[in-house]
Amino acid sequence: MRMIWLFLVVVLLIIELVTVGLTTIWFAAGSASAFLLSLAGLGIGWQIGVFLVVSIVLFVFTRPWAMKYVNKKSEKTNYEGVIGRTVKVTQEINNTEQTGKAVYDGQEWTARSADDNTVIEAGQLARVVRIEGVKLIVREKEEK
């Protein structure tokens, strides 16, 4: 059984290194604990029990904390950064006629209005509320 636990530790650590997503580290720790019990001569029941308890306890109590702090500096992708931004409408946005284009940061996007009954004229500013596929969904920007 010692070799199986040691094999599991190595395989799970390799998977963790490849995925970098905190997916198997908890089970590697459980396997290492079971390996230590096998070295101490305890039976298979104890080994499996400790593997399960250590893995589950670490997973339940440390994963939320680790996920919060490990990838703390995640940045929005290009498209997520567009949401909430102001764009300039370059072609009338009319959902009924399926027309509309807007420019953000020098890139032209197909655009649709968030409200099917609202037509946004070319030259006006709009605010991006979401993205559907490759289309910006916008609302007319209100003047302040």
What letter represents residue 49's amino acid?
G
Q: Per residue in 120-141, pLDDT tens? A: 999 999 999 999 888 999 999 8
Q: Are residues 9 and 44 in the same domain?
A: yes
Residues composing the chain: 144
Q: Are residues 103 and 53 in the same domain?
A: no
Domain ranges, residue 20: 2-70
Overall domain count for the chain: 2
Count of C-beta atoms within a 10 Å radius of residue 10: 12
Taking the model in full, what pTM does it have? 0.49
Q: Are residues 54 and 87 in the same domain?
A: no
Q: Are residues 105 and 62 in the same domain?
A: no
Among 52, 70, 88, where does a domain finish?
70
Residue whose token pair is 């993205």: 131
- Per-residue confidence (pLDDT) for residue 81, from 0 to 100: 75
Q: Are residues 90 and 136 in the same domain?
A: yes
Instruction: Say how many CA atoms lie within 13 Å of 136 toward its Cβ.
Output: 31
The CATH number assigned to the domain holding 121 equals 2.40.50.140
Where does the pLDDT of residue 18 fall: very low under 50, low under 70, confident under 90, or very high at 90 and above?
A: confident
Among 38, 70, 102, where does a domain finish?
70
- Per-residue confidence (pLDDT) for residue 142, from 0 to 100: 78
Q: Which of 109, 97, 117, 118 is nearest to 136 (CA)?
A: 109
Q: Are residues 61 and 97 in the same domain?
A: no
- Per-residue confidence (pLDDT) for residue 143, from 0 to 100: 65
- CA gap 31, 8 in Å, rounded: 6
Distances, alpha carbon 129 to alpha carbons 23, 73, 83, in Å: 33, 24, 6
- Across the chain, mean pLDDT equals 88
Q: Are residues 61 and 83 in the same domain?
A: no
